[in-house]
């Protein structure tokens, strides 16, 4: 697709949040995919705020990034954590620069070990309502152009509006229930990834990609499909291996 078509597809994804069976985790993974495609970055992570104001990792573009973002939460440091607290975007952070990473040295070291050289952090916020934050990573010492920075923030803003709109449409208390469900589903998905990867002798990323494709092809929620695999009502041989 052209860049314009990709941007339009991202907008359509956001409109889909108005349906009752909206899948939050799949929507945020699509957001990661759109960022990778449109911004030419290596990886993306998305964190959402829980009812107490803390952050929880909900989506990441690959397994290395998921582990890195979990480390950020455990260490309570990193561009995404800082961005959520300040509500201010920060672009073109050189992870090799002690000056630029002075506020999160442990995270910077772990990010370099994961193969990343540059990071960008964007708030997911509408007026005073903070939803979370999005982290972009690049394995190259390469800066985002001003235009790409605007596209990145636009994607984060669209995702924020979509999440808030869906919470309003479904129920006044959907924020708490939705996040609880997302975190519970995340555990089921991680278990299914591990089962499939072990049976196939494949990577976790390959297993996750196969699960996502099967869920979409058969119009199933990702968590529902994973639960079927865990309880044995779905065989791993029924899933197309990449």
Q: What are the tens digits of pLDDT across the range 145-158?
A: 998 998 898 888 88
Question: Which is higher by pLDDT, 160 or 242?
Answer: 160
> What are the tokens at 218?
């058969």
Based on the fold, state whether residues 24 and 120 are members of the same structural domain. Answer: yes
Based on the fold, state whether residues 125 and 31 are members of the same structural domain. Answer: yes
Q: Which domain holds residue 220?
A: 183-238
3-state secondary structure of 53: coil
Q: What are the tens digits of pLDDT across the range 54-70?
A: 899 999 999 999 999 99
Q: Tokens 């201010």 map to which residue?
A: 88
Q: Residue 92's domain is classified under what CATH number?
A: 3.30.450.40
Global pTM reads: 0.74
Q: Tokens 């079927």 map to which residue?
A: 228
Helix (H) or strand (E) holding 34: helix 24-39
- Among 170, 204, 228, identify where a domain stops: 170
Q: What are the tens digits of pLDDT across the range 5-48?
A: 766 676 666 666 555 567 888 888 888 988 888 888 999 999 99
Distance between CA 159 and CA 10 in Å, rounded? 9
Based on the fold, state whether residues 198 and 129 are members of the same structural domain. Answer: no
First to last CA, the chain: 23
Q: What are the tens digits of pLDDT across the range 152-189?
A: 988 888 888 878 876 776 555 556 677 777 888 889 99
Is there a domain that residue 175 lies in?
no
Number of Cβ within a 10 Å radius of residue 62:
21
Based on the fold, state whether residues 99 and 159 are members of the same structural domain. Answer: yes
Based on the fold, state whether residues 221 and 140 are members of the same structural domain. Answer: no
- The count of domains in the chain is 2
């Amino acid at each position: 697709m052209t860049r314009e078509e990709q941007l339009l597809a991202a907008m359509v994804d956001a409109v889909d949040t108005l349906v009752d069976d909206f899948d939050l985790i799949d929507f945020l993974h699509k957001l990661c995919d759109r960022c990778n495609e449109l911004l030419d970055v290596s990886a993306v992570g998305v964190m959402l705020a829980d009812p107490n104001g803390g952050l929880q990792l909900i989506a990441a573009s690959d397994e290395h990034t998921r582990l890195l973002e979990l480390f950020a939460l455990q260490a309570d440091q990193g561009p995404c954590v800082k961005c959520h607290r300040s509500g201010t975007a920060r672009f073109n952070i050189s992870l090799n620069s002690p000056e630029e990473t002075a506020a999160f040295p442990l995270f910077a070291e772990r990010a370099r070990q994961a193969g990343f050289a540059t990071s960008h952090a964007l708030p997911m916020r509408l007026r005073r309502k903070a939803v979370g934050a999005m982290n972009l990573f690049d394995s190259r010492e390469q800066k985002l152009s001003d235009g790409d920075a605007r596209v990145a923030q636009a994607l984060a803003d669209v995702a924020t509006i979509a999440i808030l709109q869906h919470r309003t449409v479904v129920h006044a208390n959907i924020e708490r229930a939705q996040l609880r469900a997302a975190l519970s589903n995340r555990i089921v998905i991680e278990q299914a990834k591990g089962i499939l990867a072990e049976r196939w002798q494949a990577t976790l990323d390959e297993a996750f990609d196969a699960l996502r494709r099967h869920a979409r092809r058969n119009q199933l929620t990702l968590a529902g499909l994973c639960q079927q695999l865990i309880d044995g009502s779905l065989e791993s041989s029924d899933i197309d291996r990449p």
